[in-house]
Amino acid sequence: MSKAWSPNEDKILARLGNRENMRKMRATYLNHKTAKQCADRLRNIREYVDGPFAPFECDMIRHLYQKYGPRWGRMSEVLDRSPQTIMERWQTMDQEAAKIRKKMAISRLLS
């Protein structure tokens, strides 16, 4: 059984978490963790690592959704975010857009 991840290990992983640096990182800082453990942990902390979505990322999600449909994995390759995070952001954006459309329809009916 593996030891729990420490906050310091999370910081190291966040800083050096891309695939290019994975081997170097494990060899120097996280030698007791496997590559799979590092990749899984990075996926789990991705929202913390990336923080909130920037407006250009939301625009990119809209564009990619029009191009590929709900292919979250393909979008994650472009945006460097987890597929789950992208899907959740899309759903939030879609709900916000539906609220705006509903308000506009009501205001048209009342005017």
Please state, in angstroms and rounded to a whole number, the distance separating the CA atoms of residues 23 and 27: 6
DSSP 70: S
> Model's pTM, two decimal places?
0.56
**pLDDT tens digits, the chain, 111 residues: what are they?**
567 888 888 777 777 655 555 666 666 777 788 777 877 787 777 655 567 888 898 999 999 999 999 999 888 878 878 788 899 999 999 999 899 888 888 888 887
CB 88 within 8 A of CB 77: no
Q: Taking Cα atoms as reference points, which of 55, 41, 56, 35 lies closest to residue 8?
A: 41
